[in-house]
Amino acid sequence: MPDTTVELYVIQNDPHSRAAKELLESLNVAMTEIDITNNPELMEKLVELTGQWTVPAVVVRSDEGQKVVVGYEPEAIKQAVKST
């Protein structure tokens, strides 16, 4: 299995961010949660990674490349992390 990391970009009190976190947890996916609330540097990093300022954003990196899912898209998230 490739060495894989999963980052979840969220903002506080956002139901879609919470749902994405709960989905990843239900799939037993180890992740780093990155709260970009009131943090311009992290917001800019999100825009650099995704091309937009939308949360949640799931970034999956592995030896095979990088997959990014923007917004709460359960099926796309499941597909992106299926190899983790």
Give pLDDT, residue 83: 64
Q: How many domains does the chain have?
A: 1
Rounded Cα–Cα distance for residues 53 and 74 (Å):
19
- Give me the CATH number covering residue 23: 3.40.30.10
Range of the domain at 47: 5-81
For residue range 9-39, what is the model confidence (pLDDT) as tens digits? Answer: 999 999 999 999 999 999 999 999 999 999 9
E strand intervals along 3-72: 5-10, 32-35, 57-62, 65-70
Whether residue 48 is predicted with pLDDT greater than 50 in this model: the reply is yes
pLDDT band at 63 (very low <50, low <70, confident <90, very high): confident
